[in-house]
Structure 1
Amino acid sequence: MLADLHTHTSRSDGTCDAAAMAAAARAAGVDVLAVTDHLTLPAAMDPACGCSVAEADLPTLAVEVAAAAEGSPVEVLLGFECDWYPGCEGNVARWSRGAALLLGSVHWIGPQEGGAWIDDPDDLHIWEELGPDEVWRRYAAAWCAACESPAGFDVMAHPDLPFRFSNEGLAPTMDLSATFSAMAECAHDTGRRVEVSTAGLRKGVGAFYPCGALLDAFVRAGVPMTFGSDAHRAEDVAWGLERAHAYAWWHGVRAQEVPGRDGWRSVPL
């Protein structure tokens, strides 16, 4: 089964609409497609709605996804990628109503006012001010706080996102073994699924998210896994998913978690 549970349309920071993403999924042989645009963010974090769905556009997005699903052999689901930040829970609950899937993610470190994005290639000031090791420490703390949050995150996306700039002189120097173990224990203890993403292969990381050492930690902890491309273009839907299955199998993953209109199920790889 091919289930791409992480994709974006032009309603957030993608390039095309839900119909085009569904058509690409059908052409790629995808069985389940989740459209997971970035959920609406507070104005302090995204003042121009440049990377998240404007609150006024949420009903339109739901209609577009439903239309893309109608008559399609692909099971097309409405989801959201929900950024965790302190105090996000009420916003997530209010803005994500009707979604079949919520991806939890951490891109922002710090409070709504005065925090910073860690994956913006045009603004690396937080990396320059804190250094990679401290960015990692703060990210891991935020990631575990997201797992522990009462927000209804079904899956934690790209769990080692700070590797985004590792090949650009911003690799951590500290040993991440204890950090990875803590993240895996937190995911297990809070009942979170974790995503294997192919996005890192397209974005300069040169590796899957999570890296092998972190994936090993999740496997040891018994954390269930999902798969996603993080496609922002139709041509990237399902990109590398079969390679991701092989990668995960080699690290001991034997099943993928797949959502549907009747709930979640575990499907052998």
Structure 2
Amino acid sequence: MTSTTLRIGGDLDVHRLGFGAMRLPTGPGPDRARSLAVARRAVELGVTLIDTAHLYGGGANEELLAEALHPYPDGLLITTKVGVARSADTGEWGLDARPAVLREQVDLALRRLRVERIELLQLHRIDPETPLAEQLGTLGELQSEGKIGHLGLSEVTVDELNEARALVDVASVQNGYNLLEREHEPVLAACEAAGIAFLPWRPVAHGDAGANAEVAAVAAELGATPTQVSLAWLLAHSPVMLPIPGTARMAHLEENVAAAEVTLSQEQYDRLKG
């Protein structure tokens, strides 16, 4: 039987279907009101991990979640990411994990999220222009200072994960992965072997799941949607898998969360695995 919960970093117990907040509009007006309602509904439906990042609106997404959910209910984990910054010269976003930038972004995240510690902080991307030891060393110092609970990585290879683990304890990895796009299978296997949570972003291929004949067939057999089947397959595929589907629409949110109740037979799982 597929477990419904996952422990991250040895002490953070969360439900295995999270919510990615990236798509929530943060501007004023009706769109913002809908974003606040979706975030609150996610928690009502039992979501206990919400993913955001400095990159999402330059912190506006973090502020939106705080407006929607603070004071946070017990057991809710909001994880954010740092290491991507906007150039003061060009206005373009790019990788920037220099120590001073990481420190500033963590301090800003603490203020925007209205917390004293970020329980799970992920490096959005490894910055090739800054030595990895400096990037992770800075985050490790912030961890020692009590500003960060656990550290995670995003979009890494197995070699990069191994290099990082020689420097810090890695609690999570967030790579692109879904039923139809599994190039990071070796990274998932490494995470599973080490007990590291794997948070696939884009856990459902862009509109493609329903066009896949096998996914559509299994969905019809179960009376579920192709999206739900795709998410259910991820949950069955690895015990460290924690999908974070994102949406700005209430109906899609409810569809996604309901995927936790979809159970694949071994035969259906194998057919989808291919």
TM-score (norm 1): 0.45
Pick the structure with more helix per residue. 2
Larger Rg: 2
TM-score (norm 2): 0.45
